[in-house]
Amino acid sequence: MTNVFLIRLESPIGRIELLGDDIAVTGLSIERDGALPHDDEPEHSNPLLEAARVQLLEYFAGSRTGFDIPVRLVGTPFQEAVWAELERLGWGEATSYGALAAAVGRPGSARAIGGAVGANPVPIIVGCHRVLASDGRITGYSGGDGIPTKLWLLGHERIGFAA
C-alpha cells in the first residue's frame, strides 16, 4: 500500500489541499464555502508535497510560470487524453473546448470535453482554468468558488477572455 500524504496552504483563491504519495501529487482541491474535502484529517507531509507547496506559493506570488513536480492523473482513457492536452498548455496560454476535442480525436464532443476538464484531479498545476468557450467566454469552473476562482487565475496569468 502506498502512503498517502496531505498538506494545506493559504492562497489568494482560498485554502488549497494537496494529496500525494511518495511519487506524485494525486489531488489538489481549492476551498469551497470555507471547506476542503479532508479538513477533518491531520496534515501528513512528505518532501514531494513540500516542493509542491513551494511551487504553488511561487506561482501565486508571480515568480513561477510552470510546475516541475510529478502528478498522477487517473481517470478514463478519454479523461486522461484530455488531461494530457491540458498539461501541454503553459502559463498564459488558453485553448477552447472545441480545440481540445479536435486534439483528442473527438471533434464535436465539446460537452464531453467540458466534463473531463471539470474532473481534472490536479487543477492549477494541470491548467484546466485555461480552457474557454470557442468565442473566448468563460463557461464555468469546478474548482473553488467556480467562475470567480477562474477569473482570478486567468487574470493572474494575463489570459484574455470575452465578457
Q: In 5-46, where does DSSP find H-type helix? A: none
Q: Which of 133, 146, 140 is nearest to 101 (CA)?
A: 133
For residue 82, the number of C-alpha atoms closer than 13 Å in the C-beta half-sphere is 32
Which residue of the set 13, 48, 113, 128 is catalytic? Answer: 128
| Neighbour count for residue 60 (Cβ, 10 Å) | 19
Q: Tell me whether residue 139 is one of the annotated catalytic residues.
A: no
Q: Which of 72, 95, 81 is nearest to 157 (CA)?
A: 95
Q: Which residues are the active-site residues?
A: 128
